[in-house]
Homo-oligomer: A and B are copies of this chain.
Amino acid sequence: MATSDPVYLRVVEDIRRQINDGTLPPGAPIPSRAQLTRKYQVGETAARHALRVLVTEGLVIGRVGSGHYVRERPILMPLHRWRFPEHPTPFAADLQTQGRRVTWEWQIDSTEATPEIARRLRLPLSAKLTRTRYLYRGEGRPLQLAISYEPVEFAAHLDEERRGVVARMSAHGVRITEIRETVHTRVPRPAEADALQLPAGTHVLHVERTHWAGERPMETSDIVLPGDRFRVTYSMPVG
């Protein structure tokens, strides 16, 4: 509103307003650089900068050779976190119950505990761990990345029996009593942006999941979801 702030922000705010109030519906074209310079009486740098801000905010996408368009707001996919079916991760199972075809691939290797993972599993640094990397796809597109860590002694037959952590640990005589998950948001790492085919400006939801047997953490995993397409739902009983 203030006439003192940068001119590119004036442009950004005007376009953002038009997107929010529906004047520019999803899919609608945004004026080009040349049109913006004329319409708002600004230089090319300001017009260009304004468009870049809108792109990194995720409100708009740019198509080379064509133009900028209001981004279609994808429907946020719900992931319900209070059922624990017999699946590698509840996420995939939950997605399937919504009538979506979800496929996943994984690869297993050995690694040593990094400071972060050692802390989470309460193990000494460079303890031997089995690491499993998952990539989930739905309708062809990548949906979710996950990396699971657990002590090597529990990982026998991991590649054959794809049962959930709870069931598999139980087969080793370990009773999982609790699952804790921590959700935060951050900028995707380059590898993640690549694997999940994230458009510029989107963030990811990072879910840190740990399976506990009483006071002992038994398995931990990092689950990375495109922030613009997922919402994670939790249920807690009261009283």
Contact = CB atoms under 8 A, between A and B. Distances in A.
Contacts of A59: 187
Interface in A45-102: 56-59, 76, 78, 81-82, 84
A234 B166 CA distance: 18
A140 interface: no
Interface string A214-239: 00000000000001101111111111
Given A183-B183, A184-B227, A190-B13, A81 B205 contact: no
B238 A84 contact: yes
Nearest to A16: B190
Given A56-B56, A203-B203, A227 B186 contact: yes
Given A166-B238, A236-B234, A238-B166, A203 B179 contact: no
A232 to B, nearest CB: 5
Given A76-B184, A182-B78, A227 B239 contact: no
How many copies of the chain does the oligomer comprise? Answer: 2
A176 interface: yes
B239 A180 contact: no
A235 B210 CA distance: 10
A110 interface: no
A182 B236 contact: no
A35 interface: no
A103 interface: no
30 contacts: A56-B56, A56-B201, A59-B187, A81-B234, A81-B236, A82-B236, A166-B238, A175-B239, A176-B238, A177-B237, A177-B239, A178-B235, A178-B237, A178-B238, A179-B238, A180-B235, A180-B236, A181-B234, A182-B231, A182-B233, A182-B234, A183-B183, A183-B205, A183-B232, A184-B227, A184-B232, A185-B204, A203-B203, A234-B234, A234-B236
